[in-house]
């Protein structure tokens, strides 16, 4: 019975939203890249680079929001690097993406070790604090859960709304969607396919980096190597789950966050009977099940992973 009562606790939903926030940034970022026809498997590495860059900037004396901007900038640069290989040179998106992940991860760690050659523990920063919005607390369960969140979580929600607005309500969004479905038609309109794709990669990768920055600047207050722990890859799966739509991406990320928050509570509740590993598997198994159910109907961008070379059919 207690297992169901958990679902009515504000702290449970607060945890679910906290766990979901980096995924929201990541999945919206991946979605923007893929809508423009580029699969960005550099996401895991870009998370690491963003986590490292934002935290380091704040540690070196920058303000929190400056740190966020620097993380986004670093992410955008890695996105452009990805674009150089996949959009301009038309190389394999899979190989390039994995390469970016390996490179960004190693570069972030190299930078960390150069900056801190002999520390016993990574230095801490003063992270984003919960906003504690009093007005929200009047709403039962979900209100107090939202009130506990930091500004970055609200930024993540704003990014979802903004992405949905731009993709479906602006000429720019139409062009981005078109470049991922039928780049030749965009080219015929006189728009730059490469320019749109590079722009989408830069913007999407900047969001991915914010996902990492959330971990070191809000969920925690220091950078640890390996702390991204596969969150980027989860975002790639969630993009398919969301069938490339921002509002579904938000639901998918929240669902995953809720599963993860739920499993750790179940571990303490029924851990004596069921092995802990079963609970740890749960969010991933449920993600696979959800993918299987949803992905068959997924409407993927037709030109995803196809490089566009002008004049070639």
Partner 1 sequence: MSRTQDQNSGIDRRGMLAGGGFALLAASSGQALAQAKAKPLKVAAIYTVPVEQQWVSRIHKALNAAKDRGDVTYRWSENTANTDYERVMRQYATEGMDLIIGESFAVERAARKVASDFPKIAFVMGSSFQPSKPNFAVFDNFIHEPSYLTGMVAGKATKSNIIGLVGGYAIPEVNRLMQAFMEGAKSVNPNVKFLVAFINSWYDPPKAKEAAFAMIDRGADIMYAERFGVTDAAKERNVKAIGNVIDTSAQYPGVILASALWQMEPTIDRVIKNVMAGTFEPADYGVYSYMAHGGAALSPLDPKLVPQDVIDLVKAKEKEILDGEFRVNVNDAEPKSSA
**Residue numbers of the site for partner 1 (CB under 8 A)?**
9, 11-12, 15, 18-19, 109, 119-122, 124, 215, 219-222, 224-227, 229, 260-261, 264-265, 267-272, 275-277, 280
| Least spacing, CB of residue 112 vs partner 1, in Å | 8
Q: Output the smallest distance, CB 56 to partner 1, in A.
A: 15
Tell me how far, at minimum, the Cβ of 226 lies from partner 1, in Å. Answer: 4
| Structure tokens that stand for 9 in this block | 């606790």
Segments of 118-159 assigned E as strands: none
Listing DSSP states for 157-173 in one string gives HHHHHHHHHHHHHSHHH
Q: Given the complex with partner 1, which of 129 and 170 has the nearer CB atom?
A: 129
Cα–Cα distance measured from residue 95 to residue 130, given in angstroms and rounded to the nearest whole number: 40
Supply the minimum distance, in Å, between the C-beta of residue 273 and partner 1: 8
Minimum Å gap between C-beta 170 and partner 1 is 35
In the 3-class helix/strand/coil scheme, how is 69-88 assigned residue by residue?
A: HHHHHHHHHHHHHHHHHHHH
- Angle CA 170–29–168, to nearest 5: 20
Shortest Å distance, C-beta 78 to partner 1? 21
User: Which is closer to partner 1, CB of 110 or CB of 168?
Assistant: 110
Report how far residue 307's alpha carbon sits from residue 297's, in angstroms, rounded to the nearest whole number. Answer: 24
Which is nearer to partner 1, 220 or 300 (by Cβ)? Answer: 220
- Rounded to a whole number of angstroms, the CA Rg of the chain reads 20
Nearer to partner 1, 225 or 300 (CB): 225
Nearest to 275 by CA among 286, 267, 283: 267
Distances from the Cα of 148 to the Cαs of 65, 243, 247, 251, in angstroms?
19, 30, 22, 19
Nearer to partner 1 by Cβ, of 127 and 303: the residue is 127
Q: Which is nearer to partner 1, 20 or 87 (CB)?
A: 20
Distance of alpha carbon 150 from alpha carbon 148, whole angstroms: 7
CB of 171 to partner 1, least distance (A): 39
Q: Is the dihedral of CA 249, 34, 183, 160 positive or negative?
A: positive
Which residue, 73 or 278, has its beta carbon nearer to partner 1? 278
Distance between terminal CA atoms of the chain? 61
């Amino acid at each position: 019975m207690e297992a169901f009562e958990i679902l009515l606790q504000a702290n449970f939903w607060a945890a679910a939203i906290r766990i979901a926030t980096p995924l929201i940034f990541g999945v919206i970022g991946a979605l923007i890249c893929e809508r423009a026809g580029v699969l960005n498997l550099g996401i895991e590495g870009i998370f690491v680079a963003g986590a490292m860059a934002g935290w380091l900037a704040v540690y070196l004396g920058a303000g929190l929001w400056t740190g966020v901007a620097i993380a986004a900038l670093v992410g955008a640069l890695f996105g452009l690097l990805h674009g150089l290989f996949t959009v301009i040179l038309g190389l394999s998106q899979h190989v390039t993406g994995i390469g970016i992940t390996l490179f960004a991860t190693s570069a972030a760690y190299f930078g960390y070790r150069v900056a801190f050659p002999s520390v016993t523990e990574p230095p801490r920063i003063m992270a984003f604090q919960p906003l504690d919005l009093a007005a929200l607390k009047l709403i039962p369960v979900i209100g107090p859960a939202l009130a506990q969140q930091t500004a970055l979580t609200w930024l993540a929600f704003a990014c979802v709304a903004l992405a949905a607005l731009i993709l479906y309500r602006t000429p720019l969004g139409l062009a981005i969607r078109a470049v991922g479905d039928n780049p030749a038609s965009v080219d015929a309109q006189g728009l730059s396919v490469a320019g749109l794709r590079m722009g989408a990669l830069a913007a999407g990768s900047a969001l991915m980096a914010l996902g990492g920055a959330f971990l070191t600047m809000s969920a925690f207050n220091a950078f640890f190597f390996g702390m991204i722990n596969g969150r980027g890859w989860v975002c790639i799966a969630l993009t398919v789950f969301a069938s490339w739509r921002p509002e579904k991406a938000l639901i998918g990320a929240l669902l995953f966050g809720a599963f993860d928050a739920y499993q750790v509570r179940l571990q303490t509740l029924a851990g004596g009977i069921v092995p802990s590993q079963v609970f740890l598997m749960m969010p991933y198994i449920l993600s696979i099940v959800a993918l299987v159910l949803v992905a068959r109907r997924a409407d993927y961008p037709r030109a995803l992973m196809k490089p566009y070379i002008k004049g070639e059919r």
